[in-house]
Every structure is written in C-alpha cells, then in structure tokens.
Amino acid sequence: MAAAGVDLLLVTDANHIYWLTGAEDWAFYTPLYVLVSAKHSMPFWYGRAMDRPGAQMSTWLDADHVIGYPEDYVQQTDRHPSDHLVGVIADLGHARSAVGYESESYYFSIRAFDHLRKGLPNARFLDCDLLVNRLRMEKSDAEIAYMRDAAGIAARTMSHAMELIAPGVRQSEVMAEIFKTQIAPDERFGGTITGLSPIILAGEKAATAHPAWNDDKFESGQTIALELGGARRRYCSGLARTMHLGTGLPDEVRRTEAAVEEGMQSVLECLRAGIEAQDVHAAWQKVLDRHGLKKDSRIGYGIGVGFPPDWGERAVSLRRGDNTILKPNMTFHIILGMWMEGWGLELSETVRVTTAGFECLTQFPHGVRLKG
C-alpha cells in the first residue's frame, strides 16, 4: 500500500476478500468490500447487514471490524451502499486520504464508485487494479496443498466424465455428474464449484472456447474436449483433456494431437523460476510453427482462488509480450486449446513453478482418449 501511495485500500474482488479475510459466503452479489487501512492493523469487512453474522463466523476479524450497511441501501434507485460507506470511511479517518480502488472488479460498479467519489470530495482516488492480484501469485505451502487437493478432484471428475460419455448420453447428464463429483469427490473432503464453469466442447460446439452445455446427445465420431477443474476451499486447479468417440482418430485430430502434445512437452521443459512468462509461450509457438498450425490466444495464466465467473488471477498471462519473471510457487493453468473449424481439442496442466523446474499438480494421462 505504501508503494502504491494509498492510505486506504478498498478491496472489492470476491477472490481478494476471501484471500484476505476468509469470507466465503455467497454475499458478494450485493456490495461487499474489505477496507485495508494504514491506520489499523486489522482489515474491515463491509457488507450487507444480513450477511454480517456469516462474516463473523467465517473470517478471523474481530466483531468491531465486521460492519454491516442497513437493508434499505440495497438495490435502491435513490441511494447506494456507497453513501453509507462514506460515513464509515470518514469515521476511520480517511475522508481526506489517498484511497486505492480496483477498476476492473466484477463487484465494484461504476455507480458504486460514483457515489463514493461524490461523498468523499476531499479524498484522492488511485487505481490499484491488480495490486492484490499480484500479491496472490506466489502461493504458501498451505495454498499449494489446497491446489493439490483441487487437482485431485479435477482428475477424479475428468475420469468419471469420460467413463460416462458415450453415444446417446445427454450433455446435461454428464454435466450433472461433473458437478456432483467436484463437490463430493470422495470420503476425505468436499469441494466447491470452480470459478470457471465446467465446459463440454462437443462436435461443432468445440470450435468455440466456452460453450454452454445443453441436452444434445453425444454422437459416434465426435471429438469431445472437457475443460473442468476442482476447487478445495475455493482454490482451483484446472484440467482439460480430449476424447474421441470412435475406433480411430481422424487424421486432422491425430496431427493436431501430435503438435499439442509436443508443444506441452516443450512448454514444460522450459518452465522454471527466473524465466519470463513470454518464454513459455515462445517454446509453444516454435512447435506450433513447425507443425504449420496457428493459435492467437494466450496459452495460460495464473490460477488460484476462484469464485465465479473465473479462476484466472489476471496478473500474468503466458503470451508474447508478458515479461513477468516467474518465481517459485507461482501457479499456472497452461491450457493448449485448439478451436478449429467445426471441432476442437484441448490439453492442459495446472503447475507450480519451482527453482529447478515445476511440479505438475494435475495428474491425468495425456493423449486423446479413444472410446469406440
């Protein structure tokens, strides 16, 4: 905060709020923030009064650091929770402070910001987008342990989904079992929903990256990619694999599979602390060029705590031009998605960067699985 030049940081991203305080309830669909003040050693939870008891139970904050706004500020046209927040910020001694805010948070609206600025004319607002995202990048041992558990959930879910997928089975039936397995994978512990929704890319829908599932039945001859994950205590690990319903792979699928497999090996071989994010992409691009294939999009991003709608941390992307230096215990979802004309193929791993190389958190066989 000192480096960012702010005395008060208004944290509005649900992922950051959980990471800072443990607040995990589904309370972020109305304004819910955490206030980090240079004048106070403990942050403040600020949300709807009806959600206050939940915050007291789920966070490590003292009761007087859990502040609720009255119900009559909720979803009104003539007032906003920001109007109430103005008084709270003034009481904390920050009416004339430099206040940091997140300019690209799903849960801090233009209107919320407008009302706050109007109510605090003597404060100075500074865009602190990505400040907390960057702090989250290097994981602690406890966070890595959760992500390992999450990767285990993802593998179990992938395995179960692939067992179920067969000609004549509906996408929705498989998706129902995917969610069930994610949330109750085995007797050890439960999971949660992942930030990014599980995705089934089947048939021509596999030509697009994020199709909604439906009641279509899987058909013989379809190439089917699954992008799904696991989440343990909101820490997500992603996993994508591809299968083909048939006795042999079409030539185009086989050729693309070979390129993607080689690309993944090349990416993993170069991965270690000290290199730049774009170096990882360059390793992939070299393979892709040799195979005469084309892919515009990035091949990965930082991953961690993920409430809907996303599990990406947004601070680093594995792509050309991103010169972020990789550090030990950064975690990435490396996703090689090839969305072709009328079909598609995906292969991904969730990895932890180490000094010597990497640890692959996800453990699931490679290769397009044939199911005849």
| Token representation of residue 140 | 């602690």
Identity of the residue, 57 or 370, whose beta carbon is nearer to a second copy in the bound complex:
57
Hey, which residues between 328 and 357 contact a second copy (CB under 8 A)?
A: 339
When asked if residue 44 is in the footprint of a second copy (CB under 8 A), the reply is: no
| Coil vs helix vs strand at 230 | strand
Q: Which stretch binds a second copy (CB under 8 A): 33-41, 85-93, 180-188, 262-270?
A: 180-188
CB of 243 to a second copy, least distance (A): 20
Residue 251 CA, chain-centre distance (Å), reads: 34
CB of 318 to a second copy, least distance (A): 12
Identity of the residue, 170 or 272, whose beta carbon is nearer to a second copy in the bound complex:
170
CB of 57 to a second copy, least distance (A): 7
When asked if residue 293 is in the footprint of a second copy (CB under 8 A), the reply is: no
Count of alpha carbons within 13 Å of 2, Cβ hemisphere only? 2
Rounded Cα–Cα distance for residues 79 and 81 (Å): 7
- Among 175, 239, 231, 181, residue whose Cα is nearest residue 205: 175
When asked if residue 212 is in the footprint of a second copy (CB under 8 A), the reply is: yes
- Among 67, 66, 74, residue whose Cα is nearest residue 30: 74
Q: Per-residue x/- marks for a second copy, 125-164, CB under 8 A?
A: --x-xx----------------------------------
When asked if residue 91 is in the footprint of a second copy (CB under 8 A), the reply is: no
CB of 113 to a second copy, least distance (A): 5
Rounded Cα–Cα distance for residues 354 and 363 (Å): 17
Mark 242-281 as b/e (b = at least 16 C-beta within 10 Å): bbbbbeebeeebeebbebbbbbbebbbebbbbeebbbbbb
When asked if residue 284 is in the footprint of a second copy (CB under 8 A), the reply is: no
Using CB under 8 A, which of 53, 87, 250, 274 touches a second copy?
53
